[in-house]
Every structure is written in structure tokens, then in C-alpha cells.
Structure 1
Amino acid sequence: MEDQTLTSKPQLSGAEEDDPNHDGDEPMTDLAPQNPQSDSGSDSDSVSDSEDDEAQDNLQLQTLEAQLSANPSDYDAHVQYIKLVRKIGDIEKLRRAREAMNELFPLTPAMWREWARDESSLIAGTEAFPAIEKLYERGVSEYLSASLWSDYLDFIQEYDPSVRECSPAGISKARDLFERALTATGLHVSEGNKIWEAFREFEQAIFHTINDTDVQAKEKQIQRIRSIFHRQLSVPLVNTRSTLLSYKAWEMEQGSVLDSQSGDLDGVSSHVASAYQKALDMYNARVNLEQKISTQDKSDMERFQEFMNYLKFEQSSGDPARVQVLYERAITDFPVSSDLWLDYTRYLDKTLKVGSTVSNVYLRATKNCPWFGELWVRYLLYLERNRAPEKEIASVFEKALQCSFSTLEEYVDLFLTRVDGLRRRILFSNEVENSLDYSLIRKTFQHASDYLSPHLKNTDPFLRLHAYWARLELNLGKDLVAARGVWESFLKICGSMLEAWLGYISMEIELGHIKDARSIYKRCYSKRFPGSGSEDICHAWLRFEREFGTLEDLDHAAQKVSPRLEELQLFRSREEARVEEERESISKKNTREKRKQTSDITDDQSPAKRQKDTVRNLNEVQKKDKSEAPNSVEKNKMEENKVQVEETQVRKEEQSKDSNPVKARVYTDQCTAFVSNLHLKANSEDVRKFFCDVGVVGIRILHDKFTGKSRGLAYVDFLDDAHLAAAISKNKQKLLGKKLSIARSEPRRGKRDPSDQSLPREQGRGTDQTDVPGGSASRESVEASQQSGPPNAPQPNARKPRVEHVQLKGKSTFAVPRNVAALNRTAEKPKTKKQDEEKPKSNDEFRKIFTKG
């Protein structure tokens, strides 16, 4: 919060112009709208402008009033509203606006000076004096301001009749006020001189009113003025040397013989010189720190840190009064820093501990930072520590509840602090108030439960509060029924908390009420708790019976919890399966979307570009292979041969299944890798993660047709040859601890038309066909169900494979894997001489050979 000023500039007196803290205030009489004097030619324009300004002000006034009605805690709106009303000149509305703001917020010293001056400009008699004096008292109690104190002292001397007439009562009143001002600001290094000089001037003015014949009174007054000089010279203030020279000049006026041409301290008494030199040394030690906190070109954070450094220096000096003044100066510049207020109150609790000063600081701290719960907690502890009446403590507690804290835990801490204080005062106070009994604690707990239950349901802080309540009902209130009632009411709100039931049971066990504890177990063992809580309560009941129950009790508990534990285990297994299914479903969806995006990008590339990228990737793989050692090459060849044998065997087995007439998927294996040595527990998601950086299109893990278990083999489809080459480069890398063997699947040596219906078909049976477009088990089952007849019956529209021209050579010709030529196609290779020689001869050719022979 910064000092707020008005847009209009007042006519300042000479003293106000010299005041660096003056904020441009002007008397209320000068704030009313005035039409400037002008010639007749511009009168109409001036009236029109004035009316427009007035209409605009009224509209803005209505807007601010509506804004404050909706949100009374809007600090900036209050400031703007006061400015506007002051500009209009409505004194009654202005008073109400200022009072409304001060009920919620402290006003800055500049705002208090403005308010007091506005009221002073309207003073018509002594009847208005007490009200303005009260305004000054309110102002100086909120922030440290030498300028505000100076205005207050000037006002008292000018408008208080007793002070103005120098009556004994008036002089005593003024002196007391000056002493208060010195206590507040006399140690202010940069501004304290204002009050000291004003005090001396006041006493010197009194000196001149004393009759010359009254020598004793004059001498007494001289000693009073001399004492003020001595006190001021012992304090490290700015312009200390100027004060010393003024003192020497004043002493010479009183007849003292001092050598003004010699050193500054010549002719000055030793004790005054010693105090002056000490004060000068103290000032020199602080002048650099004073300059740092007064520099205006620094940021607020930098200036705040400079204040903290200055405070550490003063605290090391060990003068609490100086530390307190510096704290007051800091909070005047940073009034809404909760850390600063907290640090200030901690220091006062440690040093002063008691007194109205500390109470006033806590009051101002909670008014400046009402949102900071720890300040309210410390305020309550301070009041309890100083034996404040119950009415005052209750009032502070209720004010705290009206604030908006940043966390709910701060409300819990506030309620617990209040209960702690009541408990201690009931148990340990020697003078217990008549109204302070346990019912007040019960009322506070009930208030806390009602207040916090909508926000802290099923939370540990709320449980801690009720556990404390039940314990006090039992130990302090001596009421077991009430303690059980606390737990029962809490369970109605937070019955899903396992800790609540265990806390209730623990209380009964501590009291030795085993049957009651057992009955609670019977009530809650079948409830569903978060996490593993449902299992935990069952096991807790069994432990309870082992420790406290009979064998029959243990058997009964086991009979109850065993089905429950089985049910929970089954439920958990199903949940895990469901979660796994959802996770795989989401993964499939993401893969399809990724494949679609990748396909769009690939389609945008020209064929030449795609071919170029493919060749480049294949060359990189070949270079990598050539860079390996010779023994590694031979080892890789052996592994490749092993993979090809395994793949051939797998394809033979798959080919044997083609006799099943159920319509099957067609796999052309354009870009497919054959993976072997796969971990038996590896699923499609594991394989997908392994190839996540090379663009997987589909995964088919082979399973045993009888057991359904994985065979450690899989086909993995990729987007293009480039991705396939990158996948093959991952050969011998580990998946789930096993090195994979990865090779290219080659179902044919020549090209073929994938649309040819005579291509060998692979049944999806026994394979995991995730992420294959159109290859889901559901689609295959629909297609199979559309065919009439039993599964093994011949289909009328089934196309018979043309095998009459096929020649199979070599061993193991009972099944043909997919990496041989298509059954109804011949290889499109040019015929060689060797092939012509091996061509079977017709009967006519054989006859010619025999007849020729």
C-alpha cells in the first residue's frame, strides 16, 4: 500500500514545502469545484466543460459505489472513491468513506494527514477539537511517521486553548505529547530531529513567557532546555554537528563562556562531549545503511533486503528500542509484508514479551495482513501468555474466523490454538473464570466441525481435530458417551477413512473395552476403503483377535474375513485386467492416429524421394554391418540362418492350417520383420515399445493353438523399407532380458499382385493380431459367421487352390511357408539353359528318342 495523493495541487505553507514527505494535500475548502474567472467570450465553454466533468464524476462515483458494494475489501476502490468524493467536496460522504475504509484497512500516514487537515480547515470552534485530536491519535497509532507527529503537535499548540494560553495543565499535556513523540520517532536517524527541535522550540517559547523576576522558574526552564539538548546530542541523528553548534550558541546566550573559535567540543562538559562522540560514531556506522534504505532508484525487493540487513545490524548491537524503531520504519514502507510482521512480532515476543506495545503491534499486524493465519495464532498465544480476559481472546478469535486464509490447514491451526488455550486455562490456571468450563471447549469443537466439514471431508487434519476432541471429552470432560458420539458423528461424515475406524477402535482398546472394539471391527470389515484399506482392516481384525480374543473369536473372524479377502482379490484382478485392456486400447488408438499421420506425410513425398530415403537407410545398415569384425559377421550369418529356419518352420505350420475354410486375413509381408527368441511373457505393448522409434504398423505374436501360450515368435509390420531397415538394425538388443533375433521376412523372391485371390492366407488363429488394419478378431468372426454350414464343410464360393502344376522338391515338403512362390504363379525370371534341360519331356519326345535309338 503506497501513500495516495490527490490530482489537485494545494497552496502549501513554507513549512509544508520543506517537508519531503508531504504528499500534496490541500484544505477541504479548496477542493470544491470552482469555475475559473474568464471573459464573457469563454463563459459558455467553461460552463459546458464543468457540466461534463461533473457528469463524468457522478458516473464514476456510481461505478465505484457499486464496486465497493459487491466487494468491500477492494483496497484500490476505496482509495479512488475517497479521492473522487474529496474532489466533489461532499464532506459527510467523505467522512463515511474514510471510516468505512479504516474499518477494514489501516490508512497510510499521508491519508491520515490529509484527513486531519481537511477536518482542521472546517473547524469553527472548540467543539470540533476533540474529534480532530482523536483522528491524530488514531493515525499515529497505525504507522510511524515523524511528519504526522509534527502535524499533531502543531495542531495541539494552535487549537488547544490550554496549551495556547500556556496554562500549567496545557503545558503538562503538551510535554507529555512531546515525550510520546520522542519515544516513537526520537531514534529515527533521518527524521528524528524534527521532533527534538520542535520540543526545544516549545520549551524556549515557555521560557520567554516567564516573568524576569521569577529567577527560580527561569533557571528551572533553562535546565529543562539544556536537558533536551543533552539528550538529543546523545542520539545518533543526521546533522548532529549542527545540533552541537546550536547548543554552544544557546549556552553562550545563557552566559556560559565557550571558545567558539576552537574545536567543536571545547568548552563542552566532559559527559556531554563523551555522549556526543559516541552518538557520532554510531551515526557514522549507520550512515551507509541509511543511504541504502533511502535510495529510491532501487526495486522494492532490493530495498526490503536492505532493511533486513539493517535490522540484523541493529539486533547485533543489542538495543531493543532502536531495533523497534527500525521495524516500524520498515513496516511503514512495506505494510503488507507478512514475513516482516511475523519477524517483528517474534522479536517482540522474545525481548519485550509483555506490554501494550506488543499488543498494539499484533493488532496492526493482523489488520495489515489478515490473510496470514500464523499471525492470528501468535496473537492468540500472546493474549493467553499475558492473561488477557476471555472476552478479548474470544473477540480476536472471532475476527480471525472472518478472514480468508490461503490454506484450510490455517483454519485448523486456528481452532486447535483456541482449544489449546481453553484446555490450559481450565487445567493450569489458578484463577479460573466462572464462565470458563469444559462446555466452551465442546462448543469450539462443534463450531470447528461445522465450519470445516464441507471443505476437509476425508482429510487427515479433520481426523486429527476429531481425535483430539474425543480425547478431551474422555479425559477432561469425563464423558465416555460423548467421546463415542464424537467418533460416531465423524464416521457419518468420513466413514470411508480407514484411519477413522482404527482411531475409534484404538480408543476402545486403550480403555479395555474389548467387546466394543470387536463390534466396531464387525461393522467395518466389509466396507470398501481406498487403496489396500479393505484388506488392511481384515488383517487388523485377525491380529486383534490373536492378541485379545479366544480361539473361537479368532475362528469367527477368520470365517468372516476369508470370503471377503477372496472377493477383494478377485475384484482387484478384474480391475487390473480392465485397466490393462483400457491401456492397450488407448495405445492402439494412438498408434492408428500416428500411423495415419505418418501415412499422410509419406504420401506427400514423391516416389523418387521415398526410394532415395529407403536406399540411404539400407546403405547405412549395410555400412554398419560391414564395420563389424569378421567373426561377428560369421556369427550374424549363423543367427540369420537360424532365424530363417525358425521362420520357415513357423510358416509351414501356418500353411497347414490353410485347409480351414474360415475366411482369413491376407498378409503380404511387404515390410515385415520376423522376430524370434521373444520372452514368453512379452505382449504386443512390450514389442511396440521396443520398436517405438521405427514406426510399427502391426504386431502378430504367435501362440500355441492348444495352450494359447506365446511361442516366442512374432511378425512385426512396418510402414516402409526404411523403417524396416531401422528395425533390423536393432538385432541382438534385449527385450525383457532376452536378446532378440530380428530378420527380414521374405515370403517371395519375386513380385506379385497382393490382390490376387489365390495368395496363401493366414488364419488369425493362434496369433496376436493387434494394430493390423482390418485384422481384428471381431471382424474375422463376423466374416466367418456369414458363411453357412459347419466350420469344416466346404464353402460353395470358396476358390480352390490350383496345385496341379506345382512341383515340390527337397525334404519336408508336407508344408510350404509363405516365403516360397505363390501356388498358382511361376517365378517371373528369365529361363536359363539349366532350367530348359530340367523341363519334363512329353511322351512324343520320349518316342522320338527311343525310335532314334
Structure 2
Amino acid sequence: MAASSNAEQTQLQDMEEEDAGMEEREMESDGEEEEEGMGVEDSDDEEDDSSEDEKENEAEIQRLEEQLSINAFDYNCHVDLIKLLKQEGELFRLRKARQKMSELFPLTEEIWLDWLKDEIRLTEEEPNREKVYELFERAVNDYICPDIWLEYAQYSIGGMGSPGGIDRVRAIFERAVTAVGLHMTKGQTVWEAYREFENAILSTVQPPPGRIPSHEEQKLLNTQLERIHTLFRRQLAVPLMDMEATYAEYEEWSEHGVPETVIHQYKKALQQMEKCKSFEESLMVAEPPKLAEYQGYIDFELKEGDPARIQITFERTLAENCLVPDMWAKYTTYLDRQLKIKDLVLSTHERAVRNCPWTMGLWKSYLLALERHGADHQTVSDVFEKALNAGFIQATDYVEIWQAYLDYLRRRVDFSRESSKELEELRGAFSRSLDYMKQDVEERFGESGDPSCIIMQIWARIEALHCKNMQKARELWDNIMTKGNAKFANMWLEYYNLERSYGDPIHCRKALHRAVQCTSDYPEHVCEVLLTFERVEGSLEDWDVAVQKTETRLNRINEQRAKAAEKEANLARQEEERAEQRRKAKSEKKTQKKFQKGTRTGEKRKAEQDDYQDEWNEDSAPKRHRGNGDHTTDEYMETETGLFGRNAPPGYKPGPPGNKKVQQAAAATPQRQKDDNPELRNDNTSVFISNLAYTLEEPESKLRTLFETCGPITQIRPVFSNKGTFKGYCYVQFESPVSVPEALKLDRREVEGRPMFVSPCVDKNKNPDFKVFKYNTSMEKHKIFISGLPFSCTKEQLEELCKSHGTIKEVRLVTYRSGKPKGLAYVEFADETQASQAVLRMDGMDVEGNKISVAISNPPRRNMMDKPGTSRPMSDMMPRQVYGSRGRGRTGLSLLPRSLHRQSAPVSKVENGTAAEQVTASSAANAAGEPKPLSNSDFARMLLNK
């Protein structure tokens, strides 16, 4: 290492001297041009601009270097710094920046090729070639790139004149065709370069024309010819694009034709190439990063089962998708389970964590692979230390990586010995992990990554099971309980089971007594466990104490629950009273506005009626009211049905048929009203669309495009509010009833992210079944209900979160009608077992800072609506008898004039779910006889007279 460092310093000094020499030569050249008058005059403005650019670039370089000193894992910052230094020509700093980046991340093919070409240009002398060779070795280890291998082989050809140079070139070419020779689109260039090299060697061993070669020369010539024959045969056995041209070249080159064995291998490879051709063509036309196309290619190769082709396909995928952790995980899993080649497996794991250091799962797999292949302890420990410094994105990742390392240390311990170095190291690691979680993780994330103290639980169980040290296990459990876990029944029962397995009855009883006093989530369960324990093992005195303690605890719990329920009820009652007051105030204000508006309308209508009466008294024919000129402001037209344009004045009677145009206008009026009235639509040819987004733009055109496939459409009528906003539902009328069933098939089709509801357009008064909102009211054991989700959670994210617990059939996020999320979701699994596992593992999980609640779907029951022939409880009938057939109004205010109010008998209280019979004054009045109906004038006088 020291020699290598000295060599690098010498190389850097050489670069600086060369840069200085180049600057001196440039200065001399500039001086000569100025003396001879051949140079171009430089303006002061250009010099100022260039100096300003240099200052700006230098400031940016310093900023990037400072940023990297703070966060060395900023990948984009490394890339920007390298580009800027290359632009400025800072060779020494450029090499240093590339070196730092390569220590932390694998470099892309472009960055490696730029670095290699710069080093080749700067180190053309023979003594410096070894440095370039070392750099090439580092480059080919990052990714499997044909262009880098080709550049490596071509550079090695330049050193073939040195001792052993030809053998070195051949060795590099052999490694190249092994690594990338199966690359279907780029592998051919490496094979051809290899053959060209061998052809060049052939030309050096061939004797001049006319001279008979000696025995040694002929032997060398035959050996070289066989090498070229072998290269042709090996290449033709590999499926490559444009391999027909290689076959034709071999036919022309070979003096004795192509052997049958080579033809057979060639045809077999050609068939394999045809199978893969569609995948290669899709990759050619796809846009980067082509992940979906590569995924299909990998699945195909996995079914084919050729390890070499599977490996090259994975490598091609990762060269373009190096920052996709799932792809690295899939590749390493294949190598771990199928190939199991130590060097290949470990090198791939190392590359995976270098590309995606933030992914805990890759580090965990790396540690397991090192242990599986017998790596020394120091190597495993070093990899673990690197994992701790990788910068995981959540606190729980650190818990899992510590668990993986502690599992490794536990497997090294020989517990048959009372003490050993490995056991002390295990205990020290447990202690260090607890300190790390407390100091580093909690300070970084502001939360504990191990709230249930899983690490301490494992430690306690190891001490109890393997070390027979129950005292240490009890100390650990005391520490667990002091961290906020004493209120959970499951924690106490875990400790109780540990005492039952490795402790004694005295400590079991003590643990259960403490559990009864501290548990707050399921105290009944803990009390039941204590009583069961005393039934089996306790004395009468123990039983009496247990009964007394459990009864006292449960009574206190019930009192606390009653107080909490009463407090909650009071708060709900207060909130309801405030809401009722707000509704009353709003209703009174609205009623007052309506009354004022009605008063003004009545006065205006009365004045208009007086004007109409005066006009019609003068002349029975309608008049035209003119303004200052000839412009007609109002015109009254008499028709067969009455006055068209305004209400007829008092005493008006229709006259005889008159103007034909007037009659047509009058005839058109009721037809237009019929089209606008939803109650007059043709139900047999119409469907009702609901649950559309309020923000849907041009709903008529979008729905027409969607429903035109069902049949010819007569009209689409979206419903808008008074303010002109879309209300989220509409009617679609077809020309034929045959189109309705086809339209109903579009029910639940998504329109701009919301399921569209399509239902028959029927008269709900004649078909009361349609009033019932039909949904499942029984427990859905295969479906889970999730609440507390962040509003930013998408369907894809939730599916990714749940798919590890089973096969997902459907994911549905619950939203408001406006499309805003409610933080609720339903996830349907393939069976009940998977849903139960998801509830156990996901309940209480942290999702983007939100603690979610997960339970089996159990929708609440809804009140049954009225159905013909269905008997209803008297308590259900009460509201309709008191408030009318439509129930209580929204405001709760009566719009009936006070003079018409009737005193009603007080409604009897409801006892045992049955309402007492009620008799009102109005019913008695109806029994005596119907009162005289009031006219509209009577109602008007009641409203206007105060």
C-alpha cells in the first residue's frame, strides 16, 4: 500500500509538471505571436468576461466541495463537481474527485470511460502503464460493460511488445468474452476484436511468399490457425445479433469448409437468438431505463434456465438500473440459491450495497452471504460497521440490521462452555446495540426504532435459555417495562411465559400480580390468567389474594371507563347543542330572508296585477309597452291556452284562436318543460350516473365518449347547482331500451380516479327496493380495514405495503365526493388467513409519521328503509308520525303560520323499545269533521298581517 501511495504521488507530480510545461509552452507561443504580429487582438471585455466566468466556476467548485465535506454520499454533487473540474481542466483536482467518488459509489460507464481516456492520454510512457491496468481492473468490477472491456483489451494491445505482453492481451480478451461475450447486441464486437488480434499475430508467423517454413515455423503457424478456428466456433455457438454474417465470414475464411458439429451448434444458437429477438427489439425502441422490458427478459431467461444467460441479462439490466434495490435483491437471491459460487456471490453483494447503500435489506443479505461462505469474523464485522454508516431512511432499519448481526454473533458462541470470548463479544454487542438505539437512532429520527424492545427480549431469552442466567433476564425485563411497556398485557404475558419456562412459580405469581396492577389495555385477560394460575398451582390463601386483587382492579377499571364514557357523552352532548344552536340561527336567518323576499314579491305582484287590470279594462286586446323609441320592451301574446309571456291578469279568459305563430310558441312551451323535467324522462331508455367528481370538466362530452359504445344516445343531461357547478350526477337517455343493460355493465368504471355508479333510472316511489343502499353488513374475514393513513398515501404505495402479507385482490382508498382522501382504505386478500396475518403485523405500523390502525372489515349495520309489506317497530314509526312522511326537516322550524298551529298531546315516553299510543288535537278535529279549507288570499293575509 505504501508503494502504491508513493507511486500515485509520483504520478500526480508528473501530471503537475506536465501541466506546468504545457503552460510555459503556451506562454512562449503567445509571446512569439505577439512579437511577430500574428496574434489576434484581445479586447478588454473578453478578458473581463473570461475572468468572471473563472471566478464563478471556482466559487461553484468550492461550494460543491464544501457540500461533499458535509454529506459525502451526495451522488449528484459528485457528478456535478467532476463535470465542472473537467470543464476547467483542473487535472489534479479532477483525479482526486473521481477517486473519492469511486470509493463510495460504483461509477457509470460514461464516467469510467472519460477517466480511463484521460489517464491513457496522460500516461503514455511504459512505466506508467501498470497504473492504467489497475484502473481498468476497478472499472470492470463495477459493472459488466462491453465498451469498457473493449477499451481494456485495445489498450493492452499497445503493450504487447513487452515481455509476456501477448499472453496478457490474450488473457484480457478471454476474460472479456467470458464476461460480455453473451451480450446479444454488443458481444459481437468483442469477439471480432479478439479475432482481429489473432489475425494480426498470424501475419507475423506466416513465412514470406515462396519460402518453405521450417518445422518450428509450421508448428507455430498451425497453432495460430487453430486459435482462429476455435474463436469462430466458440462465437458461432453463442446466440448473437447478425450472427449470419459471422458464419458467412467463417465459410470464406476456412479452407476445408465448416465442420458439421459447428453447423449444428450454429443452428441451435440461431434458434435461441430468434427466441430472444423480440426482447432485444423491444429494448432497442424503449426509452431508458427500460425496467419493464428488462424484467420480462429476465423472467424469460429464468424459465429457460441457462445460468450464463441469466447472469448477463441481470448485468445488462443493472447497468441501466443501478439504483433499483429490488433488482439487486432479485439478482443476489438468484445467486445465493442457484449458482452459489463464492466469488461471484460476494462480489455481487458488495456491488449491490455500493449502488444502494440506503437499503437495509441488501446489507442484511450481504451479512448472511458472508457467513454462509465462511468469511472471516473481521470481514463480517467490517461490513456491519459500513452498514451502520450507510444512512438508512427509517429507524426500524437499524433494529433489523442489529438483529442480523446479533444473530450472527450468537451462532458463533459455544454455550456448552460457561464463558468464552465469543459470549463476551455477544453480550458486549447487545449492550452496544441498546446504547446505539438510544443515542444515535433516537437523536436522528426523534423516535425509538424499537418501541417493543425486541432486542432486549431476545437478549433476555438467550440469557435464560442458553446461559441459565435468570437474574440477568429479569433485569432486562424490568428495563423493558420501565420503557412504557408496562401498560400492555402482551408484554406481561411474554415475561410470564419466560418465567414459566425457565423461572419458578414465585416469580410467575409476582409477575402476574404486577401485570394486574399495571395493565390498562386488556386487564380482564391478565386477571383471568392470574386466576387460572392460582387454580392450578396456588393455595387457598393465594386464591383469596388473587380474587381480591382482580376484583379491586376491575372495579377501578370499570369506574374509570364509566367516567370516561360520561365525559365523552357530555362533550358529545355539548357539541350537539352548539350545532343545534348554529342550525337554528341559520334557519331563522334564512326564514327571515325568505319572508322579506316574499313580502317584496307580493307587493310587486299586486302592483303589476293592478296595472294589468287597468290595461285590460281599456282594451280586450293585448298592448305593447314602448319606451322612448320604437323598441318593444314587453309583448303579450294571447294563445289558445292562455297568455304566453306572463301570468294572466285577474279576470282574464282565453280568446278565440288567433295568430298562428303565437299558437306555435305556446305549443312549444309544455314540450320544453317536459324535456327539462327529470320526472318526465323515459325510464326504460335511461340510466342514472352518480359519484362523479365535482371537478369533472365538460361532463357531457366525456360521458358521451364513454357511453357511445352502448348504443345511440338521445341526450345527456348533467345536473348543475344554482351557482353553475357540477353536482356529480347526470342522466343518460338512449334511443333504444336495448342499450340500458350494456350501460349498466359500465358500473364502477373509473372516471378520473373515481368509480362511476351506473344504476337503472326508475321511479323510487314505485320501487322502494332502490332506496336501500346495498352493501355487505356482515364481517368480511378476507378483507381488512385500515384507518389513520396519511392523505398523501397512494393506492400503489398501500399495495406495496400490504403485498408482503399475502395475495392482494383489490385495494380501495376511501375518499370524499370531492375526491379528497379520508385516510381510510379497504384491502381484500385471497383468503382469511392472509388477512389475519396482515392485521397482526400491520396494526400500529408507522406510515409516513402516521400510526395506522388495522382490523378485519366489519361494516356497521344501517337502519332498514321502508319496504312494502315489512313490519317496523313502533319506535321506528314515531318520527314519521310526529314529523310527517318526510321526517324532521333540516332546520327543525315550522313554516306553518302560528294561527294554524294545533295543540298536540305530549308524546309519551318510549319504554322498553315501544312507543305509547298518542292522540293529537288535529286527529280529534279530523274525527269530528273536516275544517273549511283556506284560500290563497287567506294565507296571504296571515303572512302580511302582523
TM over 0.5: yes
Aligned amino acid, residue 547 of structure 1: V
Number of equivalent positions: 606
The Cα shift of 1:80 comes to: 0.8
- Residue 171 in structure 1 maps to residue 158 in structure 2: no
Contact 1:416 1:465 in 2 (8 A): yes
Match of 1:155 in 2: 155
- Residue 518 in structure 1 maps to residue 713 in structure 2: no
Match of 2:205 in 1: 210
Deviations 1:793-827 (A, max 9, x none): xxxxxxxxxxxxxxxxxxxxxxxxxxxxxxxxxxx
Deviations 1:753-776 (A, max 9, x none): xxxxxxxxxxxxxxxxxxxxxxxx
Contact 1:336 1:369 in 2 (8 A): yes
**CA distance in 2 between partners of 1:99 and 1:349 (Å):** 31
Query: The residue matched to 1:375 in structure 2 has which SS?
Result: helix
Aligned amino acid, residue 219 of structure 1: N
**CA distance in 2 between partners of 1:299 and 1:150 (Å):** 23
Identity %: 30
Contact 2:188 2:240 in 1 (8 A): yes
Distance 1:152 1:552, change over 3 A: same
**CA distance in 2 between partners of 1:742 and 1:349 (Å):** 81
Contact 2:489 2:521 in 1 (8 A): no
Query: The residue matched to 2:491 in structure 1 has which SS?
Result: helix
User: How high is the TM-score relative to the length of structure 2?
Assistant: 0.58
- Residue 237 in structure 1 maps to residue 231 in structure 2: no
The Cα shift of 1:197 comes to: 1.1
Query: The residue matched to 2:391 in structure 1 has which SS?
Result: coil
Contact 1:541 1:557 in 2 (8 A): yes
Match of 1:58 in 2: 58
Contact 2:534 2:542 in 1 (8 A): yes
Distance 1:201 1:736, change over 3 A: farther
**CA distance in 2 between partners of 1:512 and 1:234 (Å):** 69
The Cα shift of 1:335 comes to: 0.8
- Residue 368 in structure 1 maps to residue 355 in structure 2: yes
**CA distance in 1 between partners of 2:915 and 2:194 (Å):** 95
Deviations 1:161-207 (A, max 9, x none): xx234x3x222222111111111100000000111111111222222
Match of 1:112 in 2: 112
Query: The residue matched to 1:141 in structure 2 has which SS?
Result: helix
Match of 2:43 in 1: 43
Aligned amino acid, residue 425 of structure 2: L
Query: The residue matched to 1:437 in structure 2 has which SS?
Result: helix
The Cα shift of 1:67 comes to: 3.0
Contact 1:457 1:494 in 2 (8 A): no
Query: The residue matched to 2:337 in structure 1 has which SS?
Result: helix
The Cα shift of 1:299 comes to: 6.2
Match of 2:556 in 1: 567
Contact 2:353 2:362 in 1 (8 A): yes
Q: Which has the larger radius of gyration?
A: 1
Deviations 1:638-684 (A, max 9, x none): xxxxxxxxxxxxxxxxxxxxxxxxxxxxxxxxxxxxxxx9969x99x
**CA distance in 2 between partners of 1:171 and 1:606 (Å):** 107
- Residue 250 in structure 1 maps to residue 239 in structure 2: no
- Worse-matched range after superposition: 138-147 or 502-511: 502-511
**CA distance in 1 between partners of 2:63 and 2:449 (Å):** 43
Query: The residue matched to 1:331 in structure 2 has which SS?
Result: helix
The Cα shift of 1:28 comes to: 10
Match of 2:458 among 468, 492, 498: 468
Query: The residue matched to 1:367 in structure 2 has which SS?
Result: helix
- Residue 439 in structure 1 maps to residue 439 in structure 2: no
Match of 1:718 in 2: 893
Aligned amino acid, residue 385 of structure 1: R
**CA distance in 1 between partners of 2:101 and 2:919 (Å):** 82
**CA distance in 2 between partners of 1:191 and 1:600 (Å):** 81
- Residue 310 in structure 1 maps to residue 300 in structure 2: no
**CA distance in 2 between partners of 1:745 and 1:371 (Å):** 79
Match of 1:227 among 230, 249, 256: 230
Aligned amino acid, residue 49 of structure 1: D
Contact 2:437 2:449 in 1 (8 A): no
The Cα shift of 1:324 comes to: 0.3
Query: The residue matched to 1:144 in structure 2 has which SS?
Result: coil
**CA distance in 2 between partners of 1:92 and 1:602 (Å):** 85
The Cα shift of 1:270 comes to: 0.7
Contact 2:415 2:466 in 1 (8 A): no
Contact 1:338 1:372 in 2 (8 A): yes
Contact 2:367 2:384 in 1 (8 A): yes
Distance 1:515 1:611, change over 3 A: farther
Match of 1:272 in 2: 262
Deviations 1:113-149 (A, max 9, x none): 1111112221153343222222211111111111111
**CA distance in 2 between partners of 1:736 and 1:41 (Å):** 109
The Cα shift of 1:336 comes to: 1.1
Match of 1:414 in 2: 401
Distance 1:691 1:545, change over 3 A: farther
Query: The residue matched to 2:198 in structure 1 has which SS?
Result: helix
**CA distance in 1 between partners of 2:589 and 2:237 (Å):** 88
The Cα shift of 1:208 comes to: 2.5
Match of 1:532 among 522, 529, 547: 522
Aligned amino acid, residue 445 of structure 1: F
Contact 2:119 2:132 in 1 (8 A): yes
RCO (CA 8 Å, sep 6+): is it higher in 1 or 2? 1
Aligned amino acid, residue 579 of structure 1: E
Aligned amino acid, residue 381 of structure 2: A
Deviations 1:17-48 (A, max 9, x none): xxxxxxxxxx999x99x999997565333222
- Residue 508 in structure 1 maps to residue 511 in structure 2: no
Deviations 1:221-246 (A, max 9, x none): 11111111111111111221221222
**CA distance in 2 between partners of 1:512 and 1:52 (Å):** 79
**CA distance in 2 between partners of 1:692 and 1:104 (Å):** 72
Match of 2:176 among 181, 189, 192: 181
Contact 1:28 1:89 in 2 (8 A): no
Contact 1:409 1:461 in 2 (8 A): no
**CA distance in 2 between partners of 1:327 and 1:336 (Å):** 14
**CA distance in 2 between partners of 1:735 and 1:459 (Å):** 55
Determine which structure has the larger strand proportion and give its number. 2
Write out aligned runs for 1:334-345 (5 A).
Answer: 334-345=321-332
Distance 1:207 1:461, change over 3 A: farther
Deviations 1:571-601 (A, max 9, x none): 1111110111112222333343444455555
Match of 2:890 among 690, 695, 699: 695
Match of 1:396 in 2: 383
**CA distance in 2 between partners of 1:542 and 1:216 (Å):** 97
**CA distance in 1 between partners of 2:916 and 2:394 (Å):** 55
Deviations 1:779-803 (A, max 9, x none): xxxxxxxxxxxxxxxxxxxxxxxxx
**CA distance in 1 between partners of 2:204 and 2:420 (Å):** 58
Contact 2:396 2:450 in 1 (8 A): no
Write out aligned runs for 1:483-632 (5 A).
Answer: 483-496=473-486, 497-511=488-502, 513-527=504-518, 529-533=519-523, 535-605=524-594, 607-609=596-598
**CA distance in 1 between partners of 2:90 and 2:367 (Å):** 41
Gaps of 5+ in 2: 1-17, 208-212, 603-763, 767-872, 926-940
User: How high is the TM-score relative to the length of structure 1?
Assistant: 0.64
The Cα shift of 1:340 comes to: 1.1
**CA distance in 1 between partners of 2:358 and 2:65 (Å):** 24
